[in-house]
Structures are given as structure tokens and as C-alpha cells.
Structure 1
Amino acid sequence: MDERSPLRADLYVSMVKLAQQADLVPQLAINIEQVKKWVSQWDISTTKLQNLLRSVHDALVEGGMSDKATKVMIDLLGTYTEDNASQARDDAHRCIVTHLGDPNTFLMDHLLLLKPVKFLEGELIHELLTIFVSGKISQYQQYYKNNTDFVKSLGLSHEQNLRKMRFLSFVQLAEDKKEIDYAVIQKEMQLEEAEIEDFIIDVLRTKSVRAKIDQLQKKVMIMSTIHRTFGRQQWQILRQTLTQWRENLGQVQTSLQQLDLMQTQTPA
């Protein structure tokens, strides 16, 4: 079959579905970057591309590769425009659920910028996503109390959701602090005193926060943390950091040049 034949897309979808049925998705070793290169050669319609990405996403989810699946779903949602965003409702819904259910995915603010996700504003699923992006634990608990059946219908675990909300709340709490008292953590995370250190250890395992535990003073010393949301303020801080880094490198380079000049001028 010719390398540029659009029929290759149909063949690939069939291979993915067959691997999914035979529980052999890991052996198929799906490389989404390679798939993108193939798609550019096949010159297929947007509808066929969406069907391909949707099939790959479902296979990855069933194969337990949720991190890859979320990337594929974002690519899928990116194929929709403002004109047809309303047609992406099911895909957007599925994308949100995949992100919420993935125990290793914590940053989700970028989803709110996707046109198909924006189309869900006012619905329960969009409200739940917004809570995970910027809400508090108390907001999630009230939401769950009011919409228990809906959360269960999504196939999401309440305990897993609560665990993730605690992680996200801790990340936000640690963003502008160098140390946090155990008492503050206990209050903000709604934990028992005996649960605090185990919780901190779990947070450190996610590598979303770098910190040290001071058991004697009952404090957590924060070294660095990711940002729960990355907006204009975070971009400005990043710009300032990179500018300062560039200036420091320039000073080092100047010093090295001066040292080299001094050495060349020193008589042997």
C-alpha cells in the first residue's frame, strides 16, 4: 500500500481496535508523535482524523496508559473549531473525566481554554473541573454532597478525588511559602494529626513539591513547587527569572573573559 494512501488510516484504526480487543495495546507501542507524522502524509479528512484519535484514546485508556491517553484527547479536542465545538461535547466530557481520574495528573487549567470544554460551561462536569483547577476541598465536598450520583456515574472514586484535591490544595498553599506548620496543614487539608506526615510523603512522591520534613519543629520546609494554575502572573515571574538568569550568565561570561585576558597579559 502506498505510504501516502488514506486507506492506511483505516488500517491503523483497525489495528488499534484489534489490539484493544486482544488486550495487546502495550505491545502495539503507540507513538502519538509518529501517528501525527503519518496523518500528515495520509491527508485524511478532519472527521476521519477525529475517529482515529478517538480510537487511539480509548485503546490507551483501556491499556492503562492514561498519561498518553490525555495527550491524545487534547489533540482530538484541538481539531474542533468555534464553528463545530458543540459537536465535541462527548469528547470534551470524556477528556475531563480522563484527567480527573488519572492519579498522576494534577494540572488541568489548560483544559478550560479548549473551545469544546468552554462549550460545557454551566454543566455539572464543567463545574467539577473548575473546582479541581482552582477550588477548595470544602467546595468539592459540598459539590459531592449535592451531586453524589453524578460523580459516581462518571466512574470516579470520591476518595481518589478527595486525595487529589488535597494534593492540589497543598501545592497552592506551598506556592508562596518557605515553610508550613503542621497545624496549618492539618486545618487546610482537613486531616487528623496522625495523618499529616503520611500525607506529606505522598505529596513528595508526586514530585509536584520538593520539601523537607522537620519532625522536631513540626514544619515542612518548602524548596520548590509547581503552580496549580499557570496564568499571566506566573508567566511574568518566569520571564523575570529567565531575564535574571540571562544577566547572571552574562556577568559570568564577562568575568571569564577578563580572567582570560589577564592570563594572556601575564608574562611567562
Structure 2
Amino acid sequence: MADAATRDAALKMADNAKLAFEHGASKSAALSFCSALGAAFRACNLALDQSQEQNQPSGTVAFDEATRVAQNKLDSSVEGAVQVAIGALIEYADNDADAMRSLGGDVASRTDRADVRLRALSSLYNAAPNGRGEHGRLRYEMLLLVIAFGERAGLSSALHPVFAKVEEYGTQWELSPADRRGLLDAVASALVAGGDLAAAHEYKLKALHEVDPAANRSIEAEAERAAAVVTQSIMLDNVFRFDELPDLESVRALEHTHALLWELLNILISGGLKEYLAFHNANSAYVADTLKLSHEALVRKMRLLTFASLGIAKQELSYEEVASALEVEVDEVEAWVIRAISSGLLDARVDELGSRVVINRSTTRVFTKQEWQPLHQRIELWKRNLDALSSMLAAKRAAISAYDQ
């Protein structure tokens, strides 16, 4: 925290800038005012007032004075000061980008009264010209500042509506792949800080797709990024689809840079519990120490994925078939049916009298010819059943018509 002398100097500078601006509104006066206001934001603790700091100037004095420049008393003198600065920049300084960046950095330099500072930053972001080129670049930089501050101040949850639009913004502002990736990374980082790992993972996965073919990229660096995303995919309890990951060049590179992770990924894509257990027996230290993954959680995930594969192959499964494939006791099968349904992998019912599981729908893990064949057979069966039902209804209609005549 700045000492009293620094605070006094900052507030004095803001006051002098205010007077200069009042007596001669111009670009230089507007820029001086914004600079002085930024210094006050950087030096002053907004959470303190005169009753808390004996014999020291209030941290809101400069902001009160700045508000009076516009002769418009707002609810918050701090936010009012920022509105005055924005108005000065727009009217007298052609929305000077450097001044806006500088003031934004000053506002974000501390986290006292984080809610007020975040609203001030949001006002600066909204005041930045919207468009392409330099305008888009400024908007992008201000949004990064807002997101980073929200993360640091523990206010990321307030920015979720903004997070949902960052891909749209990337297109609207014509950002480069590197900048779009930077925006997605910032959102992912903020979500991780807020404890929402599943949502963060989605943005990290999107960031993997943002690759500039013309850029000189390090294969190793891209592979490390891809390895982190793949590992998190495996770790998250609600992720069961892995077949699209190898579509990414950086993920395919894992075959050469992270061979064991590549092998584990392919087991999750199309292998079963037996393949995973064999892998773990040979690489238990790698799973636990390098990837930091829980063997028990992976066994649970592989049992669910194996169950899904069983449901694709057959519409009816005996308890013994399920128990054998999942390597559990027969009396545990019903519990695993419930888990598979809850995870969204299966739509099924239990026939307790017949000791069987009837599959209505099962999630296909990867679409190859082998996986398409049972689906094709099932569709053909449905088609024949519908044709038979249609013929039966037509015959009944004909019989009724003949009877009426």
C-alpha cells in the first residue's frame, strides 16, 4: 500500500488536473486529467475513508472533485470520476487509445473495492470503439484487462455472460488466431480460479483449435498444451467423448512426444476396461505420478465406457455379461446401470425377473465401420417393424372400409 506522502501527491495531482481541465478543456488537459486520475486509482485504497485514516486525505477526494467537473453528481464518486474521464477522452482526445489503456491499468492495479473497480473497468471497455483493426485491438486489450482483474479479485462469476460471447467477439474484431487463443485462455484461467473446471476445459479445448498455419509454432510447445488438455479430459468425471481429439494436429503429435498418454487416450477412445487395466499394470507410476490421475476414477470411467460399448453391440444384456465385462459382482450390475444412465451414456431399463438389462439407447464412443454396423442393423430392424405396422394398419383400414360398404 502506498504511504501517505504518495497518496497526498496523487490526490494533489488529480486536483490540479481538475482545475486545469475546468479552466481550459483541451486534449492535453483531458489527457492530464486522466493521467492524474489514474495515479489516484493506483495510490489510493478506495475502501478507506477519513474516519478510518486519521489526519490523512480521503481516497475519494480526487474522485469527488472529478465528478464535479461534469457538474453531475452520480451515486458513486469513483465511478463518476471514470465517467468524466471517458467523456473527456471522447470529446477532447478522440478516445485516445493509450490514455484508455493507461487508465485501465491504473484502475486494475489494486483490488480494494473490487466491485467498484470492476464496474469502472467495464465502463472503460464499453467506451472503447467497437469495430475492426485498431478499434478491435483496443477492445480486445480492454476485455483481457477486465477478465484478468475479475480473476485476481475473485469476481469471475460476474463475467460469465461475457465469457459466452468471446468467440463472437473474436470474429467481430477480426482477431488473429493467436489473439483468439489468448482470449480463450484468459477465460479458461478465470474459470479455473473460480473453481469451474468443466467449463474451463471447454475453453481450453477451443483454444487448441486456434492455430495460425503461417506462424512458426514449436511442435513441443503445442504438444505440451495438448497433453494438458487431454489429461484434463481424462480427469473430468463428466467427459466421455474422446474420439474428436485426434482430429487436432497437436493431439496427434502426442504419439511421438507423449507416447504413453497417446496410448491411454486411444484406450479411452475405443478400448475397454481390460485394456486399461493392462496399461495401468505396466504404467501405474506414470498414471499416478506424471499425469496425477486417480486409478480408481479411471477404472470407474472405463467401466462406464465399456458398458456403453456393450449397449451398442446388443440390445439385451444378461447380468452375467455385464458383470464379466465390468469385472464386478452380479449383484452390483443394477447400481452400474443407474450410474451409466446418470452419466448420459445409456438409456436402459432393468428386467429384474429376467436378470437382464434392456438397452434403449447407448452412446457411440467412436464412429467407425465397426460401430456403424450394429446401428445400421438396428435401423433396418426398426424400418422392417414400421413397414409391418404400416401394412397391418392399411389392412385394418381396408377391412373397416369394406365392412362399412
Equivalent AA in structure 2 for residue 98 of structure 1: Q
Q: Deviation per CA, 1:243-268, whole angstroms, max 9, x where unpaired?
A: x99xx9xxx9xxxxxxxxxxxxxxxx
2:209 match: 78
5+ residue gaps, structure 2, are: 1-127, 391-405
The RMSD of aligned alpha carbons is 2.9
- State yes or no: 1:220 paired with 2:357: yes
1:193 match: 330
Q: CA deviation at 1:32?
A: 5.1
Distance in 2, matches of 1:91 and 1:183, equals 42
Distance in 2, matches of 1:85 and 1:212, equals 50
TM-score (norm 2): 0.55
2:186 match: 55
Q: CA deviation at 1:115?
A: 0.9
Q: CA deviation at 1:14?
A: 2.7
CA contact (8 A) 1:171 1:227 kept: yes
2:160 match: 29
State the percentage of identical aligned residues: 27
TM-score (norm 1): 0.80
Which protein has the larger Cα radius of gyration, Structure 1 or Structure 2?
A: 2
CA contact (8 A) 2:351 2:357 kept: yes
5+ residue gaps, structure 1, are: 253-268
Higher relative contact order (CA 8 A, sep 6+): 1
Give matches, 1:176-191, under 5 Å: 176-191=313-328
Instruction: Specify which of 89, 92, 107 is matched with residue 241 of structure 2.
Output: 107
Q: CA deviation at 1:89?
A: 1.4
Equivalent AA in structure 2 for residue 143 of structure 1: F
Q: CA deviation at 1:25?
A: 2.5
2:121 match: none
Q: Does the residue aligned with 2:292 lie in a helix, a strand or coil?
A: coil
Equivalent AA in structure 1 for residue 152 of structure 2: Q
1:209 match: 346
Please, which moves more after superposition, 207-216 or 147-156?
A: 147-156
Using a 3 Å threshold, how does the CA distance of structure 1 residues 55 and 200 change in structure 2: closer, same or farther? same
Q: Does the residue aligned with 1:121 lie in a helix, a strand or coil?
A: helix
CA contact (8 A) 1:81 1:115 kept: no
Instruction: Specify which of 265, 275, 278 is matched with residue 129 of structure 1.
Output: 265
Give matches, 1:130-145, under 5 Å: 130-145=266-281
Please, which moves more after superposition, 57-66 or 125-134?
A: 57-66
Distance in 1, matches of 2:252 and 2:278, equals 23
CA contact (8 A) 2:178 2:211 kept: no
Equivalent AA in structure 1 for residue 279 of structure 2: Y
Distance in 1, matches of 2:363 and 2:163, equals 26
Using a 3 Å threshold, how does the CA distance of structure 1 residues 142 and 199 change in structure 2: closer, same or farther? same
Q: CA deviation at 1:182?
A: 0.7
Equivalent AA in structure 2 for residue 212 of structure 1: R
Distance in 2, matches of 1:166 and 1:109, equals 17
Q: Does the residue aligned with 1:16 lie in a helix, a strand or coil?
A: helix
